[in-house]
Structure 1
Amino acid sequence: MTTYSAVITTGIYCRPGCGAKPLPRNNITFEHAAAAEAAGFRACLRCRPYRVAGPVGSDAPELVCRAVQLIIGGALDHGGTETALAERVGLSSRHLRRLFLRHLGASPDQLARSRRAHFARRLLDDSDLTVLDVAFASGFGSLRQFNRTMREVFRASPTDLRDRRRRADRLVADGGLALRLPFLPGYDWPAMLDLLAGWAIPGVESIEDSTYRRTITIHDAPGLLEISPGGTDHLLLRAHLPYWEDLIHVVDGAARIVGLDADHSAGAAALLGDPVVGPLVRARPGLSVPGAWSGYEVAMRVMLGDDVAEFVKVHGSPAPGLPGGLTHTFPPPEGELGAVDHGSTVDELAALPGVSLAQANQIAYRLGCRTAFPLDGASARWHPWQALAATHLISAGPRS
């Protein structure tokens, strides 16, 4: 888990490994950048913690993790409120806020604000998008709101921040927009590719030369995402999109697919002593649980099995001229399965007509439910880390 050190005498917080050497008695530790910012600290200009901000720790309660996933999906963007978010997870807004402050050190609104600001700062560094494009790509409702937030978080205007970027920051791609997807130390990209290959939807997803590719639909227009190795602390995402508005959610979706949206360190530590899974965790400590682009897509993949390829051909939109055998975008959601989101639990999914308990576990597993177990057999021994245990079992042996 990434931790951040804040110095009370300077009002600055740093990521691990920063060259600054403050006196230990002046340090305060935060698990999340948003918590440090909520406490009034600003990001260090030397180590730039916004470039490595990790996912929210999975040792938080399930309801908190579920609410975080909804925030990542945009629940607090464009007028969304903490009250509406709390209703979606079955809590009062006051109780949800109390849980966030206790386990994350920041309220839901503060977490959402920090995520938007950090993403915008990365765009200002990595890309040549205009300041206006960066604002709307990062989920801000107006340029005024964007400017105010960036000044509050980084103590500088977006234009000043763009002027400060380092020569090596700017990413140049052969087509598309290139962005870094930061990961925690030890992340296992080859293992993730193997896992994704087992569930890839023909025509929509492909894996070739250490690169994962997939089609997506943005505002009824096709797009293409390519994820490949980038560096010692990040993957490289190339996004070919018709619009940049709300790009933050496209990047979040890409990170979710390859398991970068959650910190599994607490689960890995808990499973180390298990006689079955423990040796697998020691062998591949950087294994992450794969996610999915959308709840509807993974639900149809599970319900239709191999017939999903024909479903895509018949109901999907053609996307000609793409590499890796990609031919279509996935059909738009319909019916009750169209309401499946990344906050869904096994019980909620099993209550849908025509969805068995086994299928509910398979769907919930790809949607980030850490207690879902998509394999046959008992799994109570690994509670509440069944999804991570299953990932190690799948990676170590024949897929079910």
Structure 2
Amino acid sequence: MTTYSAVRTTGIYCRPGCGAKPLAENVSTFELPAAAEAAGYRACLRCRPYRVAGTVADEAPELVCRAVRLIIAGLLDESGEEALGARLGVSARHLRRMFSEHLGVTPDQFARSRRAHFARRLLDDTDLGIAEIAFASGFGSLRQFNRAMREIFRASPRELRDRRRRGDRLAADGGLVLRLPFTPPYDWEAMCAFLHARAIPGVESVEGGVYRRTISIDGEPGVLELGAGGDDHLLLRAHLPFWEGVMHVVDRAACLVGLDCEPVSARGHLAADPEFGPLVAARPGVRVPGAWGPFEVAVSAVVRAELPPEDASEALHKLVQVYGVPVPGLGHGLTHAFPGPAALTDAELVGPLAREVADGNIVLDGDLEPLVRSLETVTSNRAAQEIALRLGARDAWPLPGESERLNPWRSLAAVYQLTNAS
């Protein structure tokens, strides 16, 4: 977990490894950039902390982690903390108290900091115009964008663009290329193996260490490509119909490949286990994969629970061809965008799931136990647990055998076992 150091005498906060050497008595520490900014500090111009992964600690309460996932999905873009609390079944006051205690910020401050940091990366890495960056980052207006950037970075967006370094700009021969930062270690090879084994033909492919997939944004098709970048980042190339709201596309891509949470506590717990300790030592960078689309992951798990691997892949391919939205001319085996629940209510094997999701009886973002109980009305416990794992539950166990000693970090343990088996 990255800890940020803030210097009271300068009003600046830095990431680890910065060359600044302040006196220890003048330093306060924060786990998130947003918390340092809420306390009145501004980002260091030398180490540029907005360019590193600012993940939430994995020991944070499940309620906070669920709220963070909803913020990443954009829930606060068009609604307030009251709506976020209602979605989670708590009051906005209680949610603010939980965020303040565990993250050092309110939900609104957390979301605002994420938008500003993403915008700053776009200013550095791309040639998008100022207005395009404002709306790509989720700001409601240019005035709001300018005000936030001045408050957080003490400069206008144009001044920040002028400061970018020669090596920042990512040259692109098509699409928008962005860095997805992470705190090492991170095992991209293991992630590719996991995603390859569960790729939905026609929608996803993994070739030569590059993961590709189709997406749909407001009914318009797009394509994402993810691959190795450097020691502390992946590279994302996004081919999108428009740039508005691209921040949430990037955030969802990061969640898909497990960059939204660094499993420090989980890794430490498993490292002490006699069975999993050697696996962690051999591959410390394994992360828990997320999902681009919750319904898509649920459908895949239900089908794979019913059929042998080859038959399941064939059934998913047929389902995509019959019910999905064609996206021609892409190559790499990508042909369709995945269909939504309404399109699959009469589909073989997954019709009951689709109907329950379409009717709102199954909500694919809940707590582990209620989510699993609701899914067990349409599929097996094992499939329900795998769905929960991919949706961010940290204690899901989609495997046979005893596992109580691994509580509450069974999701990472399961990924280690699945990755080792493949």
Instruction: Assess same fold via TM > 0.5.
Output: yes
Which residue does the alignment assign to 1:379? 403
What root-mean-square deviation, in Å, do the aligned CA atoms of Structure 1 and Structure 2 show? 1.3
Which one is further off, 319-328 or 284-293?
319-328
Which residue does the alignment assign to 2:308? none
3-state SS of the aligned residue for 1:351?
A: helix
**Per-residue deviation, residues 23-79 of structure 1 (Å, max 9, x unmatched):** 11111111111111111110001110000032111110111111111111111112x
2:5–2:14 CA contact under 8 A, matched in 1? yes
Which residue does the alignment assign to 1:141? 140
TM-score between both structures, scaled by the size of structure 2: 0.92
Counterpart CA distance in 1 for 2:222 and 2:126 is 18
1:165 deviates by 0.8
**Per-residue deviation, residues 114-157 of structure 1 (Å, max 9, x unmatched):** 10000000001111111111011001111111111111111111
Which residue does the alignment assign to 1:38? 38
Provide structure 1 residue ranges, at least 5 long, that are not aligned to the other structure. Answer: none
1:5 deviates by 0.5
3-state SS of the aligned residue for 1:20?
A: coil
Which residue does the alignment assign to 1:169? 168
1:373 deviates by 1.1
**What one-letter code is carried by the residue in structure 2 that aligns with 1:123?**
L
Q: Pairwise mapping of residues 1-400 of structure 1 onto structure 2 (< 5 A)?
A: 1-78=1-78, 80-305=79-304, 306=312, 307-334=315-342, 335-338=355-358, 340-352=363-375, 353-398=377-422
Counterpart CA distance in 1 for 2:39 and 2:53 is 17
**What one-letter code is carried by the residue in structure 2 that aligns with 1:315?**
Y
1:344 deviates by 5.0
**Per-residue deviation, residues 157-188 of structure 1 (Å, max 9, x unmatched):** 11111111111111111100000000111111
3-state SS of the aligned residue for 1:355?
A: coil
1:379 deviates by 2.1
Counterpart CA distance in 1 for 2:21 and 2:219 is 51
Counterpart CA distance in 2 for 1:392 and 1:47 is 34
1:374 deviates by 1.5
3-state SS of the aligned residue for 2:77?
A: coil
Runs of 4+ in 1 over 6 A off after TM superposition: none
1:294–1:341 CA contact under 8 A, matched in 2? no
Tell me the matched-pair count.
397
Which one is further off, 244-253 or 277-286?
277-286
Taking a change above 3 Å as real, the CA distance of residues 343 and 13 of structure 1, as seen in their structure-2 partners, is farther
2:53–2:183 CA contact under 8 A, matched in 1? no
Of all paired residues, the percent bearing the same amino acid is: 61
Counterpart CA distance in 1 for 2:248 and 2:368 is 22
Counterpart CA distance in 2 for 1:177 and 1:323 is 18
1:346–1:357 CA contact under 8 A, matched in 2? no
3-state SS of the aligned residue for 1:76?
A: helix
1:221 deviates by 1.1
TM-score between both structures, scaled by the size of structure 1: 0.96
**Per-residue deviation, residues 75-96 of structure 1 (Å, max 9, x unmatched):** 1112x11111112222221111
1:343 deviates by 4.4
1:50–1:121 CA contact under 8 A, matched in 2? yes
Which one is further off, 197-206 or 91-100?
91-100
3-state SS of the aligned residue for 1:389?
A: helix
